[in-house]
């Protein structure tokens, strides 16, 4: 369900895109784009002078610091140009009007300097947005940077470390990068409400792997909420209530209790196998983003790891992990999943998963279509080889498989396999132990790989369908962009045909197919996937596993086949959704209870 189908009933209820299930009620903690949380403090009249002094001394310190930086840059460079930016910032700091305005806000609102700066910035943002000339509009960036620098000084140079929060909060933010999300302290962050992002954006992926309810695509929420405001996040339906009234509070508390009750019931049955009523066993595996996630596998009844997104080992690092560090990490994965298997996906860096640090990256105008994933690895063979060596060495300690992301044509796969062959030879010569017959598979996540699946099948032993990217690239929509999220429709006939075509190619070639995109954790989609071909492995975020296992136990593959056959003849996603839902309500009420309880009113 997405935000476009709702009509807001109450002014303080916002509809976004559900990105991680669960319902939380708590206090907002608003982060700005620069990861600063500015809080308002009301001051006594006799504190105002000291506050104004504090503001001026922060400005003086910053001015001195910028002058010094400009001097150093000037002496290091031949030209003056690179230092102009510092000069521009110093000029803003020297602007008497700005200084007077801040001082005026401190006095009139009796507030702290950080808050006064925030109010001033909001005022500037509003007036700059009316300026037609783009050049002048862009000058706002400089002002923003200067104001942020002063605020940072005032709050003792600290940007917010999400790791150091002291009380449980719901993070409200315009955006949240994978790097920010990765440092979260899950004990203190109980929910997310984010302005941007689509259903499969990485903030959502991380939130669900940490079992933190999240709603994304809320557009302007972060502008209307203040830190400390009461807020409700319903990650099942994608709803956020700002400053709930008493009846809303009661409504969502009830909803939350019902959700927790279902969750408990599901957990009691999580170790039961996912065998359909007509006896087909479906393996339900976990997607993980870090070896720390391994701790949650057995508590959710996962039967192995169907996707390890290894790029998270590389994000938010100044120095990328070397072979030894990667080896230890993959070895831990191999050992902990035993007797099951883990699929290690090679580095899928780029796109929305940009690395910080290292000198590996150049900024690209269009990263989703750029040097991402396997393309990047093939262009940096030393990075790729190091990872392959580490995975192979770890394969001596448990059952591992290798999977390449974003393959678009056979040449890439052949090239990657060639490097793998070389690395194997090297390890052999060095006397390392490894699984010589390690299985190699590919992600099917581009239209090109679907079309050429029969050829690709000749060079690998399994396919794993990455529906998140497959939908992005097929529908030509940025999966991070909430403005085109309405086109993200897993049940659209286009996508269903793509999936069906992939499965036919795999079946002809005798290859196994699994699905590891978000569709595998959605009951209606999973039902169709099982009916369309021989998918008997679904990999999903760990928290969806108990629910999906119960769902699978309530359906039959024979039935799924018939429904999928009919669905494939239909021409609109909405019709397909209604058709399958209505069918399941009649044919498998238990499945409906398990699968849809999270969204039931």
Site residues for ligand PEP per CB under 6 A: 200, 307, 309, 348, 445, 466-469, 516-517
DSSP 4: G
Minimum distance between the CB of residue 242 and ligand PEP, rounded to whole angstroms? Answer: 30
Q: Is 350 in the site for Mg ion (CB under 5 A)?
A: no
> Catalytic residue among 89, 111, 174, 202, which?
202
Q: Which of 38/453 has CB closer to ligand PEP?
A: 453
Q: Which of 340, 352, 344 lies closest to 291, judged by CA? A: 344
**Residue 313 CB, nearest approach to Mg ion (Å):** 16
DSSP 128-188: HTT---HHHHHHHHHHHHHHHHHHHHHTTTPPPPGGG--S-EEEEES---HHHHHT--TTT
Give 245-294 as a 3 state SS string. Answer: CHHHHHHHHHHHHHHHHHHHHHHHCCCCCEECCCCCEEEEEEEECCHHHH
Give the burial string for 131-145 (b: 16+ CB within 10 Å, else e): eeeeeeeeebeebbe
Q: Considering the complex, state which of residue 372 and residue 577 has its C-beta at the smaller distance from Mg ion.
A: 372
DSSP notation for 470-488: HHHHHHT--TT-GGGGGG-
Nearer CB in complex with Mg ion: 92/406? 406
Minimum distance from CB of 20 to ligand PEP (Å)?
A: 14
CA–CA separation, 505 vs 431, rounded Å? 39
- The least distance separating ligand PEP from the CB of residue 177, rounded to whole angstroms, comes to 15
Closer by beta carbon to Mg ion, 301 or else 306: 306
Q: How many residues bind Mg ion (CB under 5 A)?
A: 3
Distance (Å) of CA 574 to CA 2, 5, 513, 565:
12, 11, 26, 17
Of 477, 484, 518, 475, nearest to 196 by C-alpha is: 484
Active site annotation includes 460: no
Asked if 466 touches Mg ion (CB under 5 A), the answer is yes
- State the Cα–Cα distance between residues 120 and 593, nearest whole angstrom: 51
Instruction: Single out the catalytic residue among 300, 340, 516, 583.
Output: 516
Distance CA 28, CA 231 (A): 6
| Minimum CB–partner distance for residue 289 and ligand PEP (Å) | 9
Binding-site partner at residue 467 among Mg ion, ligand PEP, none, CB < 5 to 8 Å by type:
ligand PEP
Nearer CB in complex with ligand PEP: 200/556: 200
Q: Which listed range, 1-9, 132-140, 276-284, 468-476, lies at the site for Mg ion (CB under 5 A)?
A: 468-476
Smallest separation (angstroms) from Mg ion to the CB of 580: 25
Structure-block tokens of residue 329 = 């990490």
Residues 343, 441 contacting (CB under 8 angstroms): yes
Residue 111 annotated to the active site: no
* 242 backbone φψ class: left, alpha, beta (φ>0; ψ -120 to 50): beta
Strands lying side by side in the sheet with 230-234: 13-15, 239-242, 230-234, 23-31, 169-173, 189-194, 214-216, 17-20
- Using the rule CB under 5 A, is 469 a contact of Mg ion? yes
Q: What's the closest the beta carbon of residue 405 comes to Mg ion, in angstroms?
A: 6
The nearer residue to Mg ion, 445 or 482, going by C-beta atoms, is: 445
Choices 123-131, 302-310, 430-438, 469-477 (CB under 5 A): range interacting with Mg ion: 469-477
Residues 62-81, mask of contacts with Mg ion (x by CB under 5 A): --------------------
Closest CB to ligand PEP among residues 252, 473: 473
User: Given the rule CB under 5 A, which residues bind Mg ion?
Assistant: 445, 466, 469
Active site residues: 202, 516
């Amino acid at each position: 369900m997405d935000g476009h189908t709702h009509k807001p009933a109450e002014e303080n209820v916002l509809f976004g895109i559900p990105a991680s299930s669960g319902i939380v009620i708590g206090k907002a903690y608003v982060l700005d784009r620069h990861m600063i949380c500015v809080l308002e403090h009301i001051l006594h009249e006799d504190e105002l002078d000291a506050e104004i002094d504090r503001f001026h001394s922060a400005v003086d310190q910053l001015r001195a610091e910028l002058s010094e930086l400009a001097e150093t840059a000037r002496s290091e460079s031949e030209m003056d140009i690179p230092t102009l930016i510092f000069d521009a910032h110093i000029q803003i700091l020297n602007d008497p009007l700005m200084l007077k305005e801040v001082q005026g806000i401190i006095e009139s609102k009796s507030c702290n300097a950080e808050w006064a700066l925030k109010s001033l910035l909001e005022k500037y943002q509003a007036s700059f947005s009316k300026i037609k000339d783009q050049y002048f509009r862009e000058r706002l960036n400089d002002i923003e940077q200067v104001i942020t620098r002063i605020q940072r000084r005032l709050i003792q140079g600290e940007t917010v470390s999400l790791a150091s929060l002291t009380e449980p909060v719901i993070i409200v933010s315009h955006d949240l990068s994978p790097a920010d999300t990765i440092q979260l302290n899950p004990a203190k962050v109980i929910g997310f409400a984010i302005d941007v992002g689509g259903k499969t954006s990485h903030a959502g992926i991380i939130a669900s792997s940490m079992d933190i309810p999240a709603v994304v695509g809320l557009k302007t929420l972060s502008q209307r909420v203040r830190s400390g405001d009461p807020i409700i996040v319903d990650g099942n339906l994608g709803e956020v209530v700002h400053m709930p009234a008493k009846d809303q509070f009661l409504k969502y508390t009830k909803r939350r209790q019902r959700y927790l009750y279902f969750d408990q019931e599901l957990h009691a049955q999580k170790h039961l196998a996912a065998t359909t009523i007509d006896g087909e066993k479906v393996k339900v595996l976990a997607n993980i983003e870090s070896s720390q996630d391994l701790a949650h596998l057995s508590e959710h009844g996962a039967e192995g790891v169907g996707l390890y997104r290894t790029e998270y080992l590389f994000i938010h690092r100044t120095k990328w992990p070397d072979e030894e560090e990667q080896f230890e990490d993959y070895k831990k994965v191999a050992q902990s999943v035993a007797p099951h298997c883990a699929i290690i996906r090679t580095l899928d860096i780029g796109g929305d998963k940009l690395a910080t640090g290292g000198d590996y990256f150049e900024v690209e105008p269009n990263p989703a279509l750029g040097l991402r994933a396997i393309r990047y690895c093939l262009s940096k063979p030393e990075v790729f080889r190091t990872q392959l060596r580490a995975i192979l060495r770890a394969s001596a300690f448990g059952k591992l498989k290798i999977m390449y992301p974003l393959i678009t044509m056979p040449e890439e796969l052949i090239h990657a396999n060639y490097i793998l062959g070389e690395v194997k030879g090297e390890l052999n010569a060095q006397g390392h132990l490894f699984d010589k017959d390690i299985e190699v598979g590919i992600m099917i996540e581009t239209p090109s790989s679907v079309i050429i699946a029969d050829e690709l099948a000749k060079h690998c032993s399994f396919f794993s369908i990455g529906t998140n990217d497959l939908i992005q690239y097929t529908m030509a929509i940025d999966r991070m962009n909430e403005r085109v999220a309405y086109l993200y429709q897993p049940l659209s006939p286009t996508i269903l045909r793509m999936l069906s075509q992939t499965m036919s190619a795999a079946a002809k070639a005798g290859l196994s197919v699994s699905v590891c995109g978000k569709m595998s954790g959605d009951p209606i989609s999973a039902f169709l996937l099982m009916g369309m071909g021989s998918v008997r492995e679904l990999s999903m975020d760990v928290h969806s596993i108990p629910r999906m296992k119960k769902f699978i136990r309530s359906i039959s593959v024979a039935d799924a086949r018939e429904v999928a056959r009919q669905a494939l003849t239909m021409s609109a996603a909405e019709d397909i959704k209604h058709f399958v839902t209505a069918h399941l309500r009649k044919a498998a009420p238990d499945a409906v209870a398990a699968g849809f309880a999270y969204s039931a009113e």
